[in-house]
Amino acid sequence: MAAKGLTLATTPSELLEEIFSWACTDDGQTGRSINLVCKQFRNHCMGTGVDIRQVYLCGPKALERFHYALAMRESEGRKVVSLCMMWDEAIPAKYLDRHTQTQCTASMVSILRAISPDHLRVLYVSWIYSWSLTPMLPVTFPSLSELYASSADVSSLPPGRAPNLKFLHIDQPGRLSLKFGSVLATACPAITHLHIRSTGLQCVEDDPILLFIHSYRASQRSLRDVTSTYTQYFLSERTLIGGPAYAVPPKPFPLPKLRQLVISFPPVYAGGRGCGNGSMANHETGGLYWHVARGGENMFSSIDSTMVEGPADEEGGKPKKLLRVDLGGRKLVVFPASGDRDEDLLDEDRVTRRAALKAEWLSRSIGVPGVARHWSEI
């Protein structure tokens, strides 16, 4: 005779939610499967949101379906804790038309507005780069602790947008202002780790990232004084002289809790043999960032700068040597400028980048270190 005891069908809802929470630690597939087992499980999922605690969405159809699914739930069933949204499915030789891109953006914004704002902890979102840029974070999330955002407008954010955000990765920002440090200070005042991956100059006269690095160093010199000692061949003199912001010492750094600043560069895609002087200017821009990070000193006379081995290259190359500057308990890490990539490799890199981001998001969501070292661990 079979022993009598609890079955999943008779398990108390509190214990059932705990079991499902431990099970739903993938990209959302397990939650979808649990939801389809029986009516009891579906009702439990719809009422608690345990099946969508962790969700990965890629492409217009997935985004639209999830938005529709959220609309079918009450607020208690929308408790997403970790969310990753990408519009690009990275299908070789296939790119979305403008209309579909607009729909993807609308779906992503609607999803952020629909989920419970008090439960989201980790958010990875790839916005679409266009003339009408999307704010880095269009919705307030009081409990958000980690954010990855690409192609976003970081020039303005409402105060208190993410008051408990600790880890922020800004990838290829669509727009930065010279005061973006102050923007982050009012919107996300608790940031401790910041990674900016950008091609460099964002404004006509001044580079806000260079000014941010200079301010982080708490230098008493003007940025123009520091850049004047940099030897350049392919960059314009205007890049070194800058505008009025380069001419005066920086104001006090606006993010006092920041303990690590990481700067890196995306690859430059070129056809044939590359893009000549433009390619060399890209490398000189990377060198200029290193120069400012060292406070204008060369590598041999700088007492706070060291070279360290970085994580594996996303494009499959060998790990690169990075510049690390120790600033009395704070770290500044600057990657070297990325080398040229043949434009024929763009589709392959899209696939690699998407897979790498998904793997990183999963490892950060469940708190288990992934195969590749995270940028905050350098």
Which residues in the chain land under pLDDT 70? Answer: 1-18, 21-24, 93, 131, 200-205, 271-281, 299-303, 312-319, 371
Query: How many angstroms separate the CA atoms of 173 and 134, rounded?
Result: 10
∠94-99-101 over CA atoms, to 5°? 60
pTM of the model: 0.89
List, in order, residues 6 or more apart from 198 with CB less than 8 Å away: 170, 172, 173, 176, 209, 263, 265, 266
Is residue 212 within 8 Å of residue 170, measured between CB atoms? no
* N residues, the chain: 378
How many CB atoms neighbour CB 202 within 10 A?
20
The pLDDT of residue 166: 97
Query: How many angstroms separate the CA atoms of 215 and 249, rounded?
Result: 8
Helices (H) and strands (E) in the chain, counts: 11, 12
The pLDDT of residue 243: 85
The pLDDT of residue 81: 94
Burial label for 204, CB within 10 Å (0-12, 13-18, 19+), is exposed
CB crowding 139-176: b at 16 or more within 10 Å, else e = bbbeebbbbbbbbbbbbebeeebbeebbbbbbbbbbbb
Place of tokens 């890199």: 349
Instruction: Report the largest interatomic distance among the alpha carbons of the chain, rounded to a whole angstrom.
Output: 88
Q: Which of 159, 69, 171 is nearest to 125 (CA)?
A: 171
The pLDDT of residue 158: 93
Residue type, 278: G
List, in order, residues 6 or more apart from 200 with CB less than 8 Å away: 207, 209, 265, 282, 285, 289
How many CB atoms neighbour CB 231 within 10 A?
9
Query: How many angstroms separate the CA atoms of 34 and 36, rounded?
Result: 5
The pLDDT of residue 320: 77
Query: How many angstroms separate the CA atoms of 20 and 268, rounded?
Result: 44
